[in-house]
């Protein structure tokens, strides 16, 4: 595919002409909506009084749950999330009331006059506390293979431990926003920053008590999402819809950054307990993982996220005996939600910790232990949940990357540097990624499209996926141009709209291009077949003695030609009025569902994934031992996107993952208030933090069978390449004690974590303990 094709909104982004919801032109009837949210982590609402607030000049509506015409619900899967709190609040940031007024200032004025009487209740704010209190959100799940208990006992070596991984804020540049414009009767037009327009539509319909056919949700583009708008874009949309419905006016709700950070859920933090058995060579014979996540105040996607974590705590390694248990705990915090990787990063961090610790216990380079445990090509290639690892690219990638990154030479260089520097240490790590592509909720793996050709030869492509900056519309544009054999200038990709393509899945699970690309292709195939028949008939009318057949018709270079009769050709645009005259329909709906997959959620067995995406990264860091500050000196990535093209997604994923692994720390105080609710207390990577030397390459000559243009999904997998940053930092810390002891370590590796880890390592040296205190 032509990789010089610019992103569809690149120019508009630069000139500022790209229309985000906050830029939309609305008439002077537009009202500002505001959410009034709970200041308590858990409290009974004894009484409230909105009357004074309602009297403020410019205020058009002040709403509580009592004003909801339909169901007071916005839970996407489980109906456990009231749209507005009724009777009690269960986290700081929970929506209680809504205000619509002529200006933001009037809203704020009114908010001050709302009177509420609370009775504070006991709050659960950590996973440990949730375990003590037994606040499981649902039954524990288990996936098991072999006999992990017996294999652990029989193993020559064992280790055990606990890993904590932190939450992560999505930090999409465009905060949650929705504009609702009432139509006639019960109609409502919704312009929402959502990854899931069909779900937004469904929830608004239920909330207002109208049919889905009255609700039209449109998404031109989002200013980033990363999973944060897979379900929780719905919330802001529901609030805007209620206010618009109550006032019969256009209403826009746009969350301020601080409010957005306080109200919305994050990546799930996890506590993972592990036990592993291995031999002298470092081959793992058995592992047990006990995964515990902080679900927050409601289910949201927590079970699907835990499931994906359970399906990724093998990462790239074959382990014959495995037991994985997952538990989701309810806490008094905003409901945690989808975030790029969707549990995968948490699962992979656990097994990568195990592999790294085995290497340190055996005093070997972790790279060596990894290689020994990779899934095999012809044997040892079945995962713990029964899916065969087909088209295994691990060895190909490892071999090429170790050479291109000069791993061996640089390992020597790092050792030399560390031997001669007291206050700085360098660390090096290579980590793999094997990520399963498909929604694990199998029925979600479907997509639709609606392709329209107009009689001037222009083409309008509608599909069910949403654009969040990732370039989905650009890809759909390229696919349509290639399939029709026309110049891209003929084609426009429409804003996503629920009245064009209904009942869609979220643009998520890295599957947006795979699913919608095939649906677009399907619609185009239908159109080409109809047009091909008609064009063959036109040619045949001209040459009745030597007829054209539809099989010979090709679409190339903006022409429709008979490949079996050179010279018989008609311009694509010239043909379309003829189609109209011949009463050939020029619009078609396309559809696609992923083949081959089948997953039994209950048994935890089957084939959840259509295929796997593979990648590896080598990262070198420099650590300042006095401050804990680290610099990524160099990162080499080799990633498999089939015949895809997405270098930018790989760079972005790695940097976003590096943020999760290092500086991005989400903290709440003892009353459940988010302390890190703005960029001055929450540190995402900046341009200063990206690798000084960043080398990203795509694995060559690996067409992916069975997918659109033989490409592979790319969105989520590269995020987990950043585990190499985390383990390179651990490697540098470990060098402080000459790799003799196992450092204490968790994720994120903030400066504080690093300094504490160095401190504890030095204590181990002082006490001259034997290595690996936690090993048995």
Q: Which of ligand LUZ, ligand MOS, none sits in contact with 178, Cβ below 5 to 8 A by type?
A: none
**Residue 603: CB minimum distance to ligand LUZ, A:** 17
**Tokens at 161, concatenated:** 């431990």
Binding status of residue 508 toward ligand MOS by CB under 6 A: yes
- The nearer residue to ligand MOS, 41 or 508, going by C-beta atoms, is 508
Dmax over CA atoms of the chain, in Å, equals 98
Closest among 260, 245, 235, 249 to 58, alpha carbons compared: 249
d(CA 5, CA 7): 7
What contacts 139, CB < 8 A, 6 or more positions away?
A: none
Q: Shortest distance, CB of residue 343 to ligand LUZ, whole angstroms?
A: 8
* Between 247 and 336, CB nearer to ligand MOS: 336
Nearest CA among 270, 228, 277, 235 for reference residue 96: 235
Q: Residue 279 CA to chain centroid, in angstroms? A: 36
- Number of H helices and E strands in the chain, helices first, is 19, 29
Residue 304: name its binding partner from ligand MOS, ligand LUZ, none (Cβ under 5 to 8 Å by kind): ligand LUZ
- Rounded to a whole number of angstroms, the minimum distance from the CB of residue 570 to ligand LUZ is 45
261 binds, among ligand LUZ, ligand MOS, none (CB under 5 to 8 A by kind): none
Nearer to ligand MOS, 283 or 340 (CB): 340
Indicate if 716 belongs to the active site: yes
**Cβ neighbours of residue 55 under 8 Å, at least 6 residues apart?**
none
509 lies in the site for ligand MOS, by CB under 6 A: yes
Whether a cis peptide bond, with omega within 30° of 0, leads into 433 is no
- Give min distance, CB of 313 to ligand MOS, in A: 17
Q: How far is the CB of 477 from ligand MOS (least distance, A)?
A: 22
The least distance separating ligand LUZ from the CB of residue 768, rounded to whole angstroms, comes to 47
The interface partner of residue 339, options being ligand MOS, ligand LUZ, none and the CB cut-off 5 to 8 Å by kind, is ligand MOS
Question: How many residues appear in the chain?
Answer: 776
Q: With CB under 6 A as the contact rule, which of the stretches 16-24, 316-324, 332-340, 678-686 interacts with ligand MOS?
A: 332-340
Query: Binding string to ligand MOS for residues 703 to 742, with x set by CB under 6 A, is what?
Result: -------------x--------------------------
Other beta carbons within 10 angstroms of residue 679's beta carbon come to 14
Residue 353 makes contact with ligand MOS by CB under 6 A: no
- How many other CB atoms are there within 10 angstroms of residue 552's CB atom? 16
Contacts of residue 313, defined as CB under 8 A and 6 or more positions apart, other chains included, come to: 272, 287, 289, 291, 324, 347, 348, 350, 351
**Taking CB within 5 to 8 Å according to partner kind, which of ligand MOS, ligand LUZ, none is near residue 518?**
none
- Segment (H or E) for 520: helix 512-542
Dihedral of CA 486/489/490/495: which sign?
A: positive
Site for ligand MOS (CB under 6 A): which residue of 243, 338, 479, 658?
338
Distance CA 482, CA 486 (A): 7
Cα–Cα distance, 392 to 120 (Å, whole number): 55
Residue 180 CA to residue 581 CA, distance in Å, equals: 41
What's the min distance (Å) between Cβ of 435 and ligand MOS? 11
Give the Cα separation of 468 and 382 in Å (integer): 35
Site residues, ligand LUZ (CB under 6 A): 301, 304, 308, 338, 342, 439-441, 444, 508-509
Q: Which is nearer to ligand MOS, 195 or 315 (CB)?
A: 195
Q: Which is nearer to ligand MOS, 267 or 384 (CB)?
A: 267
Stretch that binds ligand MOS, among 66-74, 325-333, 337-345, 733-741 (CB under 6 A): 337-345
Q: 483 with 417: CB under 8 angstroms?
A: no
Q: Which of 206, 230, 620, 636 binds ligand MOS (CB under 6 A)?
A: 230
Choose the one of ligand LUZ, ligand MOS, none that binds residue 175, judging by a C-beta under 5 to 8 angstroms depending on kind: none
Q: Which of 174, 352, 716, 742 is catalytic?
A: 716
Q: Could you give the residue numbers annotated as active site? A: 716
Contact positions vs ligand MOS (CB under 6 A): 195, 227, 230, 338-340, 342, 508-509, 716
């Amino acid at each position: 595919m032509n990789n010089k094709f610019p992103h569809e909104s690149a120019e508009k982004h630069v000139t500022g002409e790209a229309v985000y919801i906050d830029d939309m032109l609305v008439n002077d009837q537009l009202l500002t909506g505001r959410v009034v949210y709970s200041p308590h982590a858990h409290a009974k609402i004894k009484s409230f009084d909105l009357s004074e607030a309602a009297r403020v000049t410019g205020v058009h509506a002040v709403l509580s749950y009592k004003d909801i015409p339909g169901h007071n619900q916005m839970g996407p899967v489980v109906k456990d999330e009231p749209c507005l709190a009724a009777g009690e609040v269960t986290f700081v940031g929970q929506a209680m009331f809504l205000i619509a007024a002529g200006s933001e200032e009037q809203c704020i004025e009114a908010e001050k006059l709302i009177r509420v009487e609370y009775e504070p209740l006991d709050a659960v704010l950590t996973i440990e506390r949730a375990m003590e209190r037994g606040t499981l959100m649902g039954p524990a799940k288990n996936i098991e293979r072999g006999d992990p208990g017996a294999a652990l006992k029989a193993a020559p070596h064992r280790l055990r431990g606990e890993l904590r991984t932190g939450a992560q804020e999505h930090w999409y540049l465009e905060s949650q926003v929705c504009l609702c414009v009432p139509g006639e009767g019960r109609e409502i037009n919704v312009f929402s920053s959502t990854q899931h327009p069909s779900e937004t539509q469904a929830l608004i319909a239920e909330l207002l008590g109208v049919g889905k056919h009255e609700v039209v949700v449109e998404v031109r583009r989002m200013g980033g999402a990363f999973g944060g708008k897979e379900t929780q874009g719905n919330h802001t949309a529901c609030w805007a819809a209620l206010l618009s419905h109550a006032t019969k006016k256009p209403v826009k709700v746009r969350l301020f950054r601080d409010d957005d950070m306080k109200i919305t859920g994050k990546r799930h933090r996890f506590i993972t307990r592990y036990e592993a058995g291995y031999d002298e060579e470092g081959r793992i014979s058995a592992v047990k993982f006990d995964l515990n996540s902080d679900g927050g105040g409601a289910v949201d996607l927590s079970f699907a996220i835990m499931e994906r974590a359970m399906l990724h705590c093998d990462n790239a390694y074959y382990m014959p005996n495995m037991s994985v248990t997952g538990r989701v705990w309810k806490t008094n915090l905003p409901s945690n939600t989808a975030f790029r990787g969707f549990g995968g990063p948490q699962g992979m961090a656990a097994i990568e910790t195990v592999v790294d610790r085995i290497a340190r216990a055996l005093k070997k380079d972790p790279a060596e232990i990894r290689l020994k445990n990779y899934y095999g090509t012809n044997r040892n290639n079945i995962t713990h949940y029964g899916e065969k690892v087909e088209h295994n690219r691990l060895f190909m990638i490892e071999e090429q990357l170790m050479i291109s990154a000069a791993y061996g030479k640089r390992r020597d260089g790092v050792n030399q540097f560390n031997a001669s520097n007291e206050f700085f240490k360098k660390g090096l790590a290579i980590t793999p990624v094997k990520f399963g592509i498909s929604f694990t909720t199998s029925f979600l793996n479907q997509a639709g499209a609606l392709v329209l050709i107009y009689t001037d030869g222009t083409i309008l492509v509608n599909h069910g996926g949403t654009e969040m900056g990732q370039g989905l519309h650009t890809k759909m544009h390229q696919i349509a141009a290639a399939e029709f054999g026309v110049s891209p200038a003929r084609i426009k990709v429409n804003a996503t709209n629920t009245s064009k393509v209904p009942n869609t899945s979220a643009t998520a699970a890295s599957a947006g291009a795979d699913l919608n690309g095939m649906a677009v292709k399907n619609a185009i195939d239908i159109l080409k077949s109809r047009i091909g028949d008609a064009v063959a008939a036109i040619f045949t009318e001209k040459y009745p003695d030597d007829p054209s057949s539809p099989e010979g018709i090709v679409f190339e270079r903006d022409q429709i030609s008979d490949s079996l009769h050179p010279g018989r050709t008609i311009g694509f645009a010239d043909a379309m009025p003829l189609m109209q005259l011949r009463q050939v329909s020029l619009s078609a709906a396309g559809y696609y569902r992923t083949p081959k997959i089948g997953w039994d959620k209950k048994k935890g067995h089957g084939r959840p994934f259509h295929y796997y995406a593979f990648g590896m990264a080598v990262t070198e860091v420099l650590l300042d031992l006095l401050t804990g500050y680290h610099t990524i000196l160099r990162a080499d990535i080799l990633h498999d996107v089939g015949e895809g093209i997405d270098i930018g997604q790989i760079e972005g994923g790695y940097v976003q993952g590096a943020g999760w692994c290092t500086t991005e720390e989400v903290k709440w105080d003892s009353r459940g208030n988010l302390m890190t609710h703005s960029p001055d207390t929450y540190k995402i990577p900046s341009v200063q933090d990206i690798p000084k030397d960043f080398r990203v390459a795509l694995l060559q000559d690996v067409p992916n069978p069975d997918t659109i243009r033989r490409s592979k999904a790319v969105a989520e997998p590269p995020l987990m390449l950043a585990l190499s940053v985390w383990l390179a930092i651990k490697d540098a810390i470990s060098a402080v004690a000459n790799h003799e002891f196992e450092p204490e370590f968790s994720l994120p590796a903030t400066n504080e974590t690093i300094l504490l880890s160095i401190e504890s390592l030095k204590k181990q040296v002082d006490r001259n303990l034997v290595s690996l205190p936690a090993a048995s």
